[in-house]
Structure 1
Amino acid sequence: MKENNHIVVVGTSAGGMKALIALVEQLPKNFPAPLLIVQHISSDATGEALLSELNKIGKLICVHAKQGEQIKAGHIYLAPSDNHLMIEENGSVLITKGAQENRSRPAIDPLFRSAATSFGSRTIGILLTGYLDDGTSGLIAIQRCGGICIVQDPADADYPDMPKNALNQMKPDYCVPIAEMGGILSVLISEKPKKQTPIPEDIIKEVKIAKRVLSDLPAVNSLGEQVPFNCPGCGGVLWKMNEGSDLRYRCHTGHAYTAAALLAEQTMKIEETMWTALRMFEERKNLLTTMAQDQKGAVAQSANERAKMSQVHIDRIRAILLSNDNSSATDSPV
């Protein structure tokens, strides 16, 4: 890519297909910048549905990004399932199986940060509809590196959580409905980029960790301080990040979470553990009930009492599992 060319990176989740179609339809055939897109999808999905829909529009060439290829203007590059999509300084694609960020792979933040460190003020980041808050710290990184940030107006989003969380943590350059983004992009990419400012060292380190280039304790120690709870992804120590107003956490193997994503992951792990405990107590009760039926005297009486106590535990665990805990809501792949 030429030195003055821009790069556009887009992140979305729930409701993303509809939003992306509406965005791409506004762009001309000769759009003079590449678009790199991360949409949260499950690890067993192919992403072919979105690829097909964007190619039906017929203006820009849409492909799944491939390792090492050079990005080109007028092309759309989609993150493949179960892989992070990142960009190198020379404009080549990096596809990596790095640790999940915000419970997702592909995740939005790794793409946004890599674009920010590689293209600086030439980066335009767009955050669209979705649950939770992936993409917020990536947008902040783009802004800190001199780039432009665009957030979908939450009132225009089918799932407003991601735009709302971004607006709670930062002030983007634009907060508009999707219908206005095409015109804004056309203006922005025709302008000369702002003078490049130095790239913050903490963002560079996070990009290196996500690329699996850097994964050691001193690197993470320099980014924050240890906290008294573990990474639900690998069981390792977590560090609270120092930079930014939003609460974020990292482990040295690469897992990263916003506070909301970490709470959701912890809730899911707790639920899994309690279902396991429920099954084990039910098996224990069944065994004790069988013993009470097959034995006599004190042995039968003891087994029967212990079976009743197991039922008490079963009822308590079931009540907890059936309680309405809004924090257990997850970001379902769409």
Structure 2
Amino acid sequence: MTAASTKKAANADSAAKRSDFPIIVIGTSAGGQSALGALVAQLPADFPAAILVVHHMAATGSNDAMLRVLADKGNLPCKQAVQHGVIKSGCIYLAQPDHHLMISEAKTLVTKGARENRARPAIDPLFRSAAIEFGNRVIGVVLTGYLDDGTSGMEVIRRCGGICVVQDPADAAYPDMPQNVLNHVKVDHCVPLAEMGSLLTRLALHDRGASIRVPDDVAVEAKIAQRVLSDLESVEFLGTQVPFNCPGCGGVLWQMKIGNHLRFRCHTGHAYTAATLLAEQTAKMEETLWVALRMFEENKNLLVRMGADGTASPSYVERVEQSNIHIRRIKAMLHSNMASTDPLP
């Protein structure tokens, strides 16, 4: 047997090993701990698929509480994903805090790549990488949460032949994430949480047929997320440069031209849906307003100190009043901004 044929046979064996059981990828945010606990409680001990989970959390958070909940309520072993961990059927793997969870060569990949949709871990990188690795053997699930992380990843799963499942928004504690998927992706199943365990068990046993070629844009985005690519040529392939700055690094953004879900990327790897970009811009605006408020108040206080001896010129008094006018305006803007800002995912 030649070296080329040996390599081909090895690749075929590897592909067979990657596809002999389904991969279920789950994304959730606000309300996710309760939802995941209710879901795993429905799964049998002989569940015939591996489950990988991204739950939005603070960078300084911990998976300890989640692991305890899933262990107490469910019948499946649950662990925190590690770099190059072997994925086994019947096991649940949780993304680490402040790290993306992806799949590469049928193993878990844990990275500190650029945030996507303001989050790390983010849902889209996991869904995208799973679709590339396992194609039509992937079942994507989006549960309760704010904003729309997971929508783009779910569309990739659909394009690669996988199955798309969302929690019924009417049943979700926070309906934004499942509703946004429904708004932009042709999903296969939309069910309340109480019916999802039996549905996933049936789907895991379902024969999905022939595989589908991975689209070029999906492959490029997956490489960017894995930090393999970080250059202008990659993002220019994906979209068109627009006059917006990336809130994450200050670089320029490219608008994606794939599908009907408006998205943006910078060449260093940050990615945003339109909703998350708007939310991040709003947060940056608020931060800038607080800095401006501090500077005007410091300026006013200095002017007051300089005129404390009672000999201040009329111009000092006028400048203090001007500072007070600006302070009142900024406070009004902050009050309005905070009243209308979307919550973080």
TM-score for both structures, normalised by structure 2: 0.93
Q: Taking structure 1 as reference, are residues 215 and 158 closer, same or farther at Cα in structure 2, changes over 3 Å only?
A: same
Unpaired segments ≥5 residues, structure 1: none
Superimposed CA distance per residue, residues 64-119 of structure 1 (whole angstroms, 9 cap, x where no aligned partner): 0000111001110000000000001x311100000000000000000000000110
The residue aligned with 2:9 is none
Q: Distance in 2 between matches of 1:326 and 1:78?
A: 34
Is 1:190 the counterpart of 2:208? The answer is no
Of the three residues 55, 60, 73, the one matched with 1:44 is 60
1:289 positional shift: 1.3
Of the three residues 34, 49, 52, the one matched with 1:33 is 49
The residue aligned with 1:229 is 244
Of the three residues 216, 229, 251, the one matched with 1:214 is 229
Q: Distance in 2 between matches of 1:38 and 1:198?
A: 25
Q: Distance in 1 between matches of 2:159 and 2:209?
A: 13
Of the three residues 110, 115, 132, the one matched with 1:117 is 132
Q: Distance in 1 between matches of 2:99 and 2:193?
A: 27
Q: Distance in 2 between matches of 1:36 and 1:243?
A: 26
Of the three residues 99, 108, 113, the one matched with 1:83 is 99
Q: Taking structure 1 as reference, are residues 202 and 2 closer, same or farther at Cα in structure 2, changes over 3 Å only?
A: closer
% identical equivalent positions: 58
Aligned residue type for 2:326? H
Asked whether the 8 Å contact 1:294–1:300 carries over to 2, the reply is no
Q: Distance in 1 between matches of 2:210 and 2:309?
A: 84
Q: Distance in 1 between matches of 2:18 and 2:142?
A: 25
Matched position secondary structure for 1:281: helix
The residue aligned with 1:330 is 343
Aligned residue type for 1:199? V
1:325 positional shift: 5.5
Most deviating of 309-318 and 191-200: 191-200
Question: Which 4+ stretches in 1 moved above 4 angstroms?
Answer: 324-327
Is 1:59 the counterpart of 2:78? The answer is no
Q: Distance in 2 between matches of 1:314 and 1:213?
A: 47
Q: Distance in 1 between matches of 2:281 and 2:344?
A: 14
The residue aligned with 1:93 is 108
Q: Distance in 2 between matches of 1:2 and 1:101?
A: 26
Q: Distance in 2 between matches of 1:201 and 1:103?
A: 25
Cα RMSD between the aligned structures?
1.2
Matched position secondary structure for 1:124: strand
Query: Structure 2 matches for 1:8-27, cutoff 5 A?
Result: 8-27=24-43
Q: Taking structure 1 as reference, are residues 185 and 211 closer, same or farther at Cα in structure 2, changes over 3 Å only?
A: same
1:323 positional shift: 1.5
The residue aligned with 1:180 is 195
Asked whether the 8 Å contact 2:99–2:121 carries over to 1, the reply is yes
Is 1:141 the counterpart of 2:141? The answer is no
The residue aligned with 1:257 is 272
Most deviating of 303-312 and 78-87: 303-312
The residue aligned with 2:19 is 3
Most deviating of 75-84 and 284-293: 284-293
Most deviating of 247-256 and 320-329: 320-329
Aligned residue type for 2:19? E
Aligned residue type for 1:182? G
Is 1:300 the counterpart of 2:313? The answer is yes
Unpaired segments ≥5 residues, structure 2: 1-16
1:2 positional shift: 5.0
TM-score for both structures, normalised by structure 1: 0.96
Most deviating of 321-330 and 132-141: 321-330
Matched position secondary structure for 1:222: helix
The residue aligned with 1:321 is 334
Asked whether the 8 Å contact 1:10–1:35 carries over to 2, the reply is yes
